[in-house]
């Protein structure tokens, strides 16, 4: 099938296609089916049949508050559908870390894993299923689903987030009625989180140009057109969170499908994701209330795109001192509460000398192209910002004092050391351009 048809049909038609691509490769969608409808919980047995014979044992991981809310009960649906069930019920919201994974005691005869919850449960189950070489099905209850179908799980070890390769889920089930029943804020987070991936797209393109990373133009375009579709859906003039939330959730899944086609976590781990992680560490360490991931990513996407634009207007002949990794380690220990020995292993060695000069040369060479892309994306983000606020009950009033400039500059400047992916912030760090924000 041709890749450009990907966006022309609804998400429930997705399943198992192989796309011939203009980049010369073929991209494969391994997820066989998406059930996206009202009352989709009843479709769980159909999803399980795609990966295991009847009477197999399905192991379900779910959060208590969600298990209590679902009607009919998840274990009943699965057993009535002809499968045996074992469950692990998390009492509170599980944290996205390896400790939460280790709580899962999966019986030896389990043949399928099922994750019921938001993005965190999806990551935990994808990771555990990969460890045990079992197929998995995700029942996603959150409209923010860009990570659901990726072949990766984002989980922390000693509070530092890492991306682990996993198999993608065999099937995804989403109940649109649950989305409509959720608070409006979830719609805002799902919209903001998706639109914030403009930063990830920019980082992908710049990593290809500056750092010679694998890149596919048709997939870049496919991802961008999903974001545009969502922008048009939400910025249409009537800001009704309940009316648009199912559409936003569908756009999230479409984006997630494109992520799976790239074969990596590239499109979910741009600088917006790095900064959102930094903010979470900072707020946890200072016992401050942290908003949802999608909200944080969107707030940072706006800041970052302005920084990129600014960088690209003035790059060229300037000299700044190189970055100071020792100072960075001290600050990460102090503000994020991280263990210094742990950071020392993770912190990026500074790229200096010829390698850094070559990067700077390439930024100069592609400056026009990157600058116009940053301007385009900045316009989209400005349009999204207005709509984003309108999705809140208070028109976004609570967002105003949430991240102050000191928090923002600390997070942006330390973010490149929290994750392995190369972003434009990584370039800025190596060029010494983030150091001013630290002092």
In the complex with Zn ion, the residue whose CB is nearer, 21 or 70, is: 21
In the complex with Zn ion, the residue whose CB is nearer, 212 or 406, is: 212
In the complex with Zn ion, the residue whose CB is nearer, 221 or 229, is: 221
> Distance between CA atoms of 254 and 229, rounded to whole angstroms?
10
Write down the least CB distance from residue 262 to Zn ion, Å.
8
Look up tokens 């987030």; give the residue: 161
In the complex with Zn ion, the residue whose CB is nearer, 221 or 339, is: 221
Interacting span for Zn ion (CB under 5 A) from 10-18, 25-33, 89-97, 282-290: 25-33
For residue 27 the two structure tokens come to 């991209």
Write down the least CB distance from residue 16 to Zn ion, Å.
18
Residues that bind Zn ion (rule: CB under 5 A) add up to a total of 4
Is 6 a binding residue for Zn ion by CB under 5 A? The answer is: no
Interacting span for Zn ion (CB under 5 A) from 50-58, 91-99, 105-113, 209-217: 209-217
Q: Nearest Cα to 109, choosing from 76, 132, 82, 137?
A: 132
Interacting span for Zn ion (CB under 5 A) from 119-127, 166-174, 212-220, 324-332: 212-220
For residue 371 the two structure tokens come to 């600058």
In the complex with Zn ion, the residue whose CB is nearer, 176 or 256, is: 256
Secondary structure letter of residue 396 according to DSSP: T
Write down the least CB distance from residue 168 to Zn ion, Å.
17
Q: Count Cα atoms within 13 angstroms, Cβ side, for 398.
A: 11
Is 21 a binding residue for Zn ion by CB under 5 A? The answer is: yes
Write down the least CB distance from residue 18 to Zn ion, Å.
12
Interacting span for Zn ion (CB under 5 A) from 18-26, 61-69, 120-128, 324-332: 18-26
Q: 278 with 415: CB under 8 angstroms?
A: yes
Write down the least CB distance from residue 196 to Zn ion, Å.
23
First and final CA of the chain: distance in angstroms? 53
> Which residues in 30-178 belong to E strands, given as ranges?
33-37, 57-63, 84-90, 110-117, 136-140, 152-157, 160-165, 171-175
Q: What sign has the CA pseudo-torsion 432, 385, 292, 257?
A: negative
> Distance between CA atoms of 255 and 147, rounded to whole angstroms?
9
Interacting span for Zn ion (CB under 5 A) from 16-24, 73-81, 204-212, 327-335: 16-24
Q: Nearest Cα to 162, choosing from 29, 342, 424?
A: 342
Among 4, 7, 23, 86, binds Zn ion (CB under 5 A): 23
Alpha-carbon 169 to chain mean position: 16
Cα 239–Cα 139–Cα 163 angle in degrees, nearest 5: 90
Write down the least CB distance from residue 163 to Zn ion, Å.
21
Interacting span for Zn ion (CB under 5 A) from 13-21, 150-158, 233-241, 310-318: 13-21
Write down the least CB distance from residue 2 to Zn ion, Å.
11
> Distance between CA atoms of 296 and 265, rounded to whole angstroms?
19
Is 216 a binding residue for Zn ion by CB under 5 A? The answer is: yes
Interacting span for Zn ion (CB under 5 A) from 21-29, 100-108, 185-193, 295-303: 21-29
Write down the least CB distance from residue 427 to Zn ion, Å.
24
β partners of residue 334: none
Q: Characterize the bridge pairing of strands 171-175 and 33-37.
A: parallel
Write down the least CB distance from residue 19 to Zn ion, Å.
8
Write b or e for each residue in 417-438: b if 16 or more Cβ atoms lie within 10 A of its Cβ, otherwise e.
Answer: bbbebbbbbbbbbbbbbbbebe
In the complex with Zn ion, the residue whose CB is nearer, 40 or 258, is: 258
In the complex with Zn ion, the residue whose CB is nearer, 21 or 279, is: 21
For residue 226 the two structure tokens come to 């999903």
Write down the least CB distance from residue 263 to Zn ion, Å.
10
Interface residue list for Zn ion (CB under 5 A)? 21, 23, 25, 216
């Amino acid at each position: 099938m041709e890749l450009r048809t990907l966006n022309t049909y609804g998400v429930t038609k997705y399943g198992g296609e192989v796309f011939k691509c203009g980049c010369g490769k073929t991209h494969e969608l391994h997820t066989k089916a998406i059930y996206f409808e009202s009352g989709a919980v009843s479709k769980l047995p159909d999803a399980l049949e795609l990966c295991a014979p009847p009477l197999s044992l399905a192991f379900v991981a779910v959060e208590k508050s969600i298990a209590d809310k679902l009607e009919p009960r998840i274990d009943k649906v699965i057993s009535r559908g002809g499968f045996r069930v074992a469950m692990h019920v998390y009492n509170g919201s599980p944290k996205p870390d390896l400790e939460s994974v280790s709580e899962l005691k999966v019986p030896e005869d389990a043949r399928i894993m099922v994750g019921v919850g938001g993005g965190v449960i999806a990551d935990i189950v994808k990771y555990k299923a990969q460890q045990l070489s079992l197929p998995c099905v995700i029942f996603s209850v959150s409209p923010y689903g860009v990570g659901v179908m990726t072949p990766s799980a984002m989980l922390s070890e000693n509070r530092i987030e890492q991306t682990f390769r996993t198999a993608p889920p065999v099937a995804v089930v989403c109940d649109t009625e649950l989305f409509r029943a959720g608070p409006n804020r979830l719609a805002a987070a799902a919209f903001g989180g998706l639109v914030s991936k403009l930063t990830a797209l920019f980082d992908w393109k710049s990593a290809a140009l500056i750092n010679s990373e694998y890149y596919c133009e048709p997939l870049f375009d496919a991802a961008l057109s999903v974001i545009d579709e969502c922008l048009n859906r939400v910025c249409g003039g009537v800001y009704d969170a309940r009316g648009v939330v199912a559409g936003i959730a569908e756009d999230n899944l479409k984006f997630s499908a494109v992520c799976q086609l790239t074969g990596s976590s590239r499109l979910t781990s741009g600088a917006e994701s790095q900064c959102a992680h930094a903010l979470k560490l900072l707020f946890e360490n200072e016992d401050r209330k942290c908003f949802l991931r999608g909200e944080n990513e969107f707030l940072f996407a706006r800041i970052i795109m302005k920084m990129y634009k600014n960088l690209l207007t003035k790059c060229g002949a300037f000299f700044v001192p190189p970055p100071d990794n020792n100072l960075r380690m001290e600050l990460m220990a102090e503000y994020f509460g991280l263990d210094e020995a742990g950071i020392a292993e993770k912190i990026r060695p500074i790229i200096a000398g010829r390698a850094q000069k070559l990067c700077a040369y390439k930024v100069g060479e592609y400056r026009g192209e990157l600058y116009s892309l940053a301007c385009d994306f900045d316009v989209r983000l400005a349009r999204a910002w207005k709509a984003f606020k309108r999705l809140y009950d208070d028109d976004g009033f609570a967002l105003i004092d949430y991240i102050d400039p000191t928090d923002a500059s600390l997070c942006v400047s330390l973010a490149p050391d929290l994750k392995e992916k190369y972003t434009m912030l990584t370039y800025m760090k190596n060029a010494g351009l983030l150091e001013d924000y630290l002092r």
